[in-house]
Structure 1
């Protein structure tokens, strides 16, 4: 766009109020200006002195030494030098002197613009614009014809003359119907489209009206060869098909993909990338990669230009690695592609393990040791936090500890943590499941046996669990299932710190800490005579009661997050979370199997999940039935088979919303995010009782 400073006549000198008449005459003769800016001592414009002012002073026969200050005109139009040429009409129109004074930001005159100067520049720019438009039209292969209000041709470009094989001078002044026979200019339509056959080519003609004056309109006709349009359409169709194919491949590939340009701004990303790193679409495209995904280090490749592969990284237990690949064009790096590989790494790792094991014959002969600490017990429950705090203190000593709680509450995990916090934490941690070993073998498992002690015994003998646990901890799981005779021998070891091997006569001293666990009511067993009272009190020095999961509801989601991460590593899955309805079900269920059941449910759900999030249909059917029953659904087989799993989930959501809203259907609609009419349709479908 052209600005005033490019077309104005520069002002280097100005008049002052004290300038004399003779000096003014000489100045105007030299500059040939009819209007001269007048400034103050600071150089700021205060008015103009015109040729008519000069005539007035001469007619009054004033002395040539008279200053011009009383003949200065103050009512003038000014325009800033930065304005565009086509925006000066208002400024100049205010001037009574027919000349526009151009000023800078400090109101100091920098130029003048007369009507003659403006007209000359308009003509010059019009010619330039005409030449530019002709170049644009010719290079775009668009034919262009312009007419006056009667339809007579006043302009044709080179493309049109080539199109109809006639020179321009034979077309000028002829009617446009000479080129477009079926043309109708009598209508009021501002635009029209025609199809025109010229020799072997077909053209689309777009006719538009333009305003010549306030009363008259002319026409512009643009000609486009349809073969070019068809070729473009075909190319576009091929490109769109290729794009859909590539997008399908990317959407269903195992890998996440991200692309950045030479400014390190993200220009492309795949859905798997959003899923893995839990991003929002609006935070990705167009943003700097180091702000959104700094862990990928893609911007480094822009500097080095060298492709590389990262070390193994981890996100929520999901191992992944990054291929960083530079993109070159004419030996200039124009971007980087980051390929995130994660879903198949688990399978590759397992196959390598199997291969290395078979090649090297690796066998694991490590001594049993503790696997967990109190720091690895995940909880937000106040009771559990209190037990952990007590466990830290109890673990420091060598006192026997009895851990009680329902099956699956984490008794063995707590025992590991107690051992790890004790002074013998570096020693062995030996586990004996008293319910899993046959009773006739339990004594030999505990104390070992001498060679030939009984039929079928190893001639070299065998050391027992107490020997293995010497200097460490012996964890007796399911202690309530131990027989009475073995209880008596265990009591002796606890009291005397020594024992005899089966078939042996030599006393063997041992330094072992006992941690026992049970899910049975030992006090009732003592009363019934199935558990020795003296052993009970010997074990029950420090007793820890682990609460069931249904009394630790704050931990359900916390443990779920932990299991997702752990099971992703174990099974090679790529689960990042769950849908809201799943969360409601998890919190409503009673979890009779406690943490063990929660883990099993997650393992099953993650295996069956078909996306990055676990959905309601991925949960076990028995769990959904139980929750639905507790919320008031009928549990009959006939009714359950009437609806799909998703429909039953919908039933659950509606029932849950009605319970939370205390039967208020308007509130239930807000909770469900549906209209009142849709709610009534659903209530009717599932045969809920509809009442106001």
Structure 2
């Protein structure tokens, strides 16, 4: 309602007890006031000078310059400026006084309030309210009809006129029932809501009453057009259907898709994207895209308003690119689509060519790096959560600090060479060269010249200027002797001399060569048995076996299989250009229960084969080698077989399959199986396999 401060008449005159009759008469005449508020020097009210007081002074024929002091009425009631409208209304209704003095909280005069002021303010407010109500009713989508107590139409808005197809002038002063016959039934039913037909339209009628100035009851009829509601409902259904179709399309999209709204919150996401990044939908839905996937940089298109393609990115060895596409409406970005392509990259062939060139260059440098005699692996490359392996790594790290010979033992494929690399890289010689010699891969007649080099003309076919050997290359660094158990007795004697005296002669030479080389040896053979059999020198054995480490086979640390699978999957995705994101539970169970005679090397070979054959984004049971799947079936059929016999049977089948695939080529078969050629000969002899 209207506050009192908006209804009062301000007093701009300073009227005191010393004000003359002439001044008071002039002010009352000019403003047509019936009284004047009289204040002191602090502007506080002390009384009023009324029209009656004025008449008395005139009747007494006082001089016009006489002060009004003796004619002031004191003890006057006042109104506070904070008085509520309801209180003002009550005072006006009951008070016989026509004018009141309004004061503030400090009793200072702020104005006069009359009944006329209130009436004029109410008329102004009523007029404003009427204009606002007319505007609302004119632009309303609801038809409004008002009747008097006789059900004669006294008001109708434009919407009601549109519903009936008649002008307002035709409807006013017309009987309601003649225009809206169905309204009579609605009145009789007494229901506040009633469905009716208006011309050809269906509508919902709402009826309410009001009291007019004659204290008579009239009615207000509100007609809501149902056709509009039905149209809205139809549009909503269309939107729901469209959203369902869009969600279905996204769910079955080959590549990853993500949609965001105008505030960059994620609204939809495809299963393939969730699978690639290995996250749950509930963890990203309705969250800021740049917060969940900062690498996508989807906010860029909200600024540029143009589609763009990212550079190549990588996750778990899988390369992908991001299409950033803005959704525009009326020239404004109302959302964005992030399309993550990682399965087929035909649309970005130019980028792929650039990557290929970069990879070729990287491969070239990598190849040159490989040619250099240097250690490539550290302890971080040896993945394990097995307690014994962790203890072994710590012990080997301590041993690496010295210069003693290290002997690394373990089955083929357990990672003996990785240990050797790591020992060198954590030693004081890590800046020196790391030279590898596979004693089983070099023919015996050439092994001596490989070790010690040769002089010019030392034998037929020798280089003109001779050649330095592995000991020369490793001077100041480390020499890693892999498969040392396959070395001949003759060469063992010469190696022992180098280890003892740290000097040697080149083949065909007479000059003594001094070297400072640390020896790390590795073997998968039982050297103690070989010493007993006379195939390995006892003195060399004790010279090599200063610090010895035995790497446990993979079957003794099953907990590492899951860890290694994840790491290998990432590396092989990059190497094989595949997009494998996981492994079926049945396939994983086979890998975790298999006895792994070839250890980590065999696991990597199996993973490479499975990822090559996988067609559904995940490794399935049928992608594993047949011998593993067959053995699993046999295990279920004959679970009572001793574990050792099962391992031997699986190993025999693996060797037979490898020999069959290579048409009897033992060198190729040994590479497939991940074992040395001499080891393969022993297995053939053991299982009496003759081809």
TM-score by length of 2: 0.61
Given that residues 431 and 474 in structure 1 are in contact (C-alpha distance below 8 angstroms), is that contact kept between their aligned partners in structure 2?
yes
Give the C-alpha shift of residue 174 in structure 1. 2.0
Alpha carbons of 1:187 and 1:306: their partners in 2 closer, same or farther (altered >3 Å)? Answer: closer
Cα distance, 1:415 vs. partner? 1.6
Q: Secondary structure at the match of 1:212?
A: strand
| 1:651-680: CA deviation from partner (whole Å, max 9, x where unpaired) | xxxxxxxxxxxxxxxxxxxxxxxxxxxxxx
Q: In the alignment, is the contact (CA less than 8 A) between 1:256 and 1:270 conserved in 2?
A: yes
How far apart, in 2, do the equivalents of 1:561 and 1:19 lie?
Answer: 102
Quote the Cα distance in structure 2 between the aligned partners of 1:135 and 1:383: 87
- 1:414 paired with 2:419, answer yes
Whether 1:543 aligns to 2:548 is: yes
Change in CA separation of 1:104 and 1:482 when aligned onto 2, cut-off 3 Å: farther
Corresponding position of 1:157: 157
Structure 2 CA distance, aligned partners of 1:90 and 1:566? 85
SS of the residue corresponding to residue 221 of structure 2 reads strand
Q: Are the structure 2 counterparts of residues 386 and 28 from structure 1 closer, same or farther at C-alpha, using a change threshold of 3 Å?
A: farther
Instruction: Identify if the C-alpha distance between structure 1 residues 161 and 332 changes in structure 2 by more than 3 Å, giving closer, same or farther.
Output: closer
- Cα separation, partners in 2 of 1:230 and 1:77, compared to 1, 3 Å: closer
Give the match for residue 367 of structure 1. 371
* Corresponding residue of 2:119: 116
Q: Residues of 2 paired with 1:614 and 1:19: CA distance?
A: 107
Q: Does 1:129 align with 2:145?
A: no
Post-superposition offset of 1:532: 3.7
Aligned to 2:656: none
Structure 2 residue aligned with 1:82: none
Q: What CA distance in whole angstroms lies between the structure 2 residues aligned with 1:445 and 1:59?
A: 144
Seen in structure 2, the aligned counterparts of structure 1 residues 482 and 132 have a Cα distance that, compared at 3 Å, is farther
CA distance in 2 between partners of 1:25 and 1:591 (Å): 122
1:515-541 deviations in Å (ceiling 9; x for gaps): 223455544554565644323222222
- Say whether the 8 Å CA contact 1:148–1:154 is kept in structure 2: yes
Q: Is the 8 A contact 1:568 1:575 kept in 2?
A: yes
* Counterpart-to-counterpart distance in 1, 2:628 and 2:488: 36
The answer as to whether partners of 1:343 and 1:572 remain within 8 angstroms in 2 is no
* Structure 2 unaligned spans of 5+: 58-66, 640-691
Is 1:270 aligned with 2:272? no
Q: 3-state DSSP class of the match of 2:549?
A: strand
1:401 and 2:399 are equivalent in the alignment: no
Matches within 5 A, 1:290-329: 291-299=291-299, 308-324=308-324
Distance 2:472 2:201 in 1: 96
2:247 aligns with 247
Q: Distance in 1 between matches of 2:105 and 2:626?
A: 79
Deviations 1:5-59 (A, max 9, x none): 799346654899988999999888876789999999999xx9999x9x9699999
Q: Distance in 1 between matches of 2:629 and 2:149?
A: 79
Cα deviation digits, residues 466-485 of structure 1 (max 9, x gap): 47964564434444565666
Cα deviation, residue 206, structure 1:
1.0
Separation (CA, whole Å) in 2 of partners of 1:325 and 1:425 = 50
RMSD of aligned Cα (Å):
6.5
User: Aligned runs of 1:179-578 on 2, under 5 Å?
Assistant: 179-181=180-182, 183-194=185-196, 198=199, 202-212=200-210, 218-222=219-223, 224=225, 226=227, 239-251=239-251, 252-257=253-258, 259=260, 261=262, 265-266=264-265, 268=267, 270-271=269-270, 291-299=291-299, 308-324=308-324, 338-344=338-344, 367=371, 369-378=374-383, 387-392=392-397, 394-395=399-400, 399-405=404-410, 409-422=414-427, 423=429, 425=431, 427=433, 429-430=435-436, 432=438, 434=440, 437=441, 441=443, 444=446, 447=449, 466=470, 470-471=474-475, 473-480=478-485, 487=492, 490-491=495-496, 494-495=499-500, 505-506=508-509, 513-519=518-524, 521-523=526-528, 526-527=531-532, 531-546=536-551, 562-563=567-568, 565-572=570-577
Q: Aligned residues, how many?
A: 597
Spell out, residue by residue over 1:192-220, the C-alpha distance to the aligned partner (whole angstroms, 9 max, x if none). 32456x4xxx4221112335359968453
CA distance in 2, matches of 1:299, 1:317: 26
Contact 1:325/1:336 (<8 A) preserved: yes
In terms of mean alpha carbon deviation, does 612-621 or 270-279 score higher? 612-621
Partner in structure 2 of residue 166 of structure 1: 166
CA gap 1:266/1:97 in 2 versus in 1, 3 angstroms: farther
**SS state of the match for residue 71, structure 1?**
coil
Contact 1:320–1:342 (8 Å) recurs in 2: yes
Range 612-621 or range 145-154, more displaced: 612-621
Report the CA distance between 1:191 and its aligned residue.
2.0
Partner of 1:674: none
- Report the TM-score when normalising by structure 1: 0.61
- The alpha-carbon distance between structure 1 residues 470 and 12, as it changes in their structure 2 partners (threshold 3 A), is same
Contact 2:454–2:469 (Cα < 8 Å) also in 1:
no
Conserved in 2, the CA contact under 8 Å of 1:48 and 1:72? no
- Cα deviation code 1:420-471 (max 9, x no counterpart): 345265535435274xx59xx45546745999x9xxx989899898479645
Q: Which piece of structure 1 moves more, 385-394 or 412-421?
A: 385-394
Q: Secondary structure at the match of 2:407?
A: strand
Call closer, same or farther: CA 1:11–1:326 in 2, change over 3 Å.
farther
1:72 paired residue among 64, 74, 77: 77
